Amino acid sequence: MLVPDLFLAMMKEEWRIHSTVFWGFWFALFPVMIVVFAFFGSLTLPFFSDAVPYTVAALLAQIFFLLAGAMVGSFGLMGREFMNRRFGQASLIAYVSRSLPISERRIFATFLMKDTIYYILLYVLPFTVGFAAATPFISIDPGYIILAFASLALAFLIGLSAVCFLSTLYAHSVRLLAATLVVLALALFHAGTVVFPPYSFFLDPGLEPLALSLLFILIPAAISVLFVTVDYPDQVKRFKNSLDSLAERLSPLGSEHFIAKDALDLLRSEGGAGKVVFSFLLPVGLIWLCLQILIQFVPGIDPLMIFAVLLGVISSTIYNWLTEFDSFSSYAFLPVEVSGMIDAKLKSYGILSLLPVAVLVFAAAATGGAAAPFIPALAVLISVSAYTLAVTVYLTGLHPNVMLYHAGVFARYVLATSPVLLLIIFASIFDPLYALGSLLLVPAAAFLLSRSRRGWQTWEISGY
């Protein structure tokens, strides 16, 4: 069924994409960093065991890997555009299938296989190694090491195959996707308590949760392979000029032509609205679901508040979409400054931020619509989103997609954001009103942004 040579070629391709696009040597340190984080993270477990019991920590890890799987899946789907922008007409092997004497299904199956093995080696294995190294110090039975690896891998694969499944639906019809999402949401809502099979497997290893997990992986994956459609960008697309009318409408904001261009990039790039679904609404929806599960275990927390924190972090990745199709080298010969570009991107970001705000309103309404927790949650969303965005811009300028994979940059990103986020979460557990203190992040964000405008100004773009 699978094609060994093709599989190897794809593995090599994936590694080269990462190591050439993402700073060679530094990329190789990425797994090492995961080991280090997992090690120290595990060491701190006993200190928090009152607030966060081991079982909850395990659940959090499961959720994290579920989301990582979903993210890897969506990157695979958007990979072609990303590559085209960076390397001209270069294409991933998976997209040139027409030039190979192999069926699309087999190529896609191989592609999934490659993602599975590559990312388990890159994410799950290092995480487990870090955890394993910490077990002697925190008196956890080493038997859990194997169990952790297996269940996290299962969680990751469920995320990956779910996204592939949904994207295959999307490729066939948007309505089909919408209907499926509604049915799934209703089913989950109806089921009340949901048990995540890999988590059950971790708590109580047995045949039943394992089989259930595998079904959750294999069935969606099989459907997406069987019904895969690869659409070739064959016909030349033509569009009437909409830049001017858009720019006219945006002119009160200034830099209107840049904002208009960002809008057209987003609307016309492959996926279009699908991108919003797969890299924003889907992870956000998953997080919301997971939080609903989590509050059954940790009674003290306010799900809306934690949701607002996470939503703020995810919102800041909107900046990655905005910079994805742009490289400063396409402006370097025009009278444009990096700071001007950053300003324009921030304005586009401000407009798109209405989306997470709408999501929060929706979530608040779903939890009963009490205004009291909503105001602090909104403050948290706005400040976290502004602050994580400012850190991203400060550390990566106009190139977040590339630079965040630089291990050193990523470490600084985590150090700059995670303590602050944890503080907000803990403060809000004491009293939701404390979360209003997060508004202090807004001036911090403004300071970082003004520093980045100047800092990136002098950066010479070597034109990758």
CB atoms within 10 A of CB 368: 8
Tokens describing residue 94 = 């998976």
Q: Between helices 143-172 and 125-134, what is the axis angle to 10°?
A: 160
Handedness of CA 57, 63, 67, 70 (dihedral sign): positive
Burial (Cβ within 10 Å: 0-12, 13-18, ≥19) of residue 359: buried
Taking the complex as a whole, the smallest distance from the CB of residue 25 to other proteins amounts, in Å, to 16
Which residue, 193 or 458, has its beta carbon nearer to other proteins? Answer: 458
Tokens describing residue 213 = 């997990």
Task: Provide the binding-site residues for other proteins, judged by CB under 8 A.
Answer: 84-85, 233, 236-244, 247, 256-257, 261, 264-265, 268-269, 325-327, 329-330, 332-337, 460, 463
Taking the complex as a whole, the smallest distance from the CB of residue 324 to other proteins amounts, in Å, to 11
Which residue, 269 or 428, has its beta carbon nearer to other proteins? Answer: 269
What's the rounded Cα separation, in Å, for the pair 45 and 134? 10
What's the rounded Cα separation, in Å, for the pair 329 and 333? 8
Burial (Cβ within 10 Å: 0-12, 13-18, ≥19) of residue 383: buried
Handedness of CA 103, 106, 112, 118 (dihedral sign): negative
Which residue, 190 or 240, has its beta carbon nearer to other proteins? Answer: 240
Residue of 330, 323, 383 lying closest to 353 (CA atoms): 383
Which residue, 190 or 237, has its beta carbon nearer to other proteins? Answer: 237
Taking the complex as a whole, the smallest distance from the CB of residue 353 to other proteins amounts, in Å, to 22
Taking the complex as a whole, the smallest distance from the CB of residue 412 to other proteins amounts, in Å, to 24
Which residue, 206 or 233, has its beta carbon nearer to other proteins? Answer: 233
Tokens describing residue 137 = 């110090």
What's the rounded Cα separation, in Å, for the pair 322 and 90? 21
Which residue, 252 or 463, has its beta carbon nearer to other proteins? Answer: 463
Which residue, 25 or 239, has its beta carbon nearer to other proteins? Answer: 239
Is 369 in a helix, a strand, or coil?
coil
Taking the complex as a whole, the smallest distance from the CB of residue 272 to other proteins amounts, in Å, to 10
Residue of 124, 135, 11 lying closest to 65 (CA atoms): 124
- Planar angle of CA 340, 271, 343, nearest 5 degrees: 10
Taking the complex as a whole, the smallest distance from the CB of residue 89 to other proteins amounts, in Å, to 9
Q: How far apart are the first and last CA of the chain?
A: 38
Taking the complex as a whole, the smallest distance from the CB of residue 334 to other proteins amounts, in Å, to 5
Handedness of CA 233, 239, 245, 251 (dihedral sign): positive
Which residue, 200 or 320, has its beta carbon nearer to other proteins? Answer: 320
Taking the complex as a whole, the smallest distance from the CB of residue 267 to other proteins amounts, in Å, to 8
Taking the complex as a whole, the smallest distance from the CB of residue 104 to other proteins amounts, in Å, to 23
Residue entry with tokens 């999307």: 170
What's the rounded Cα separation, in Å, for the pair 329 and 319? 18
Which of the 8 DSSP states describes residue 96? -
Which residue, 84 or 224, has its beta carbon nearer to other proteins? Answer: 84
Taking the complex as a whole, the smallest distance from the CB of residue 396 to other proteins amounts, in Å, to 20
Which residue, 261 or 399, has its beta carbon nearer to other proteins? Answer: 261
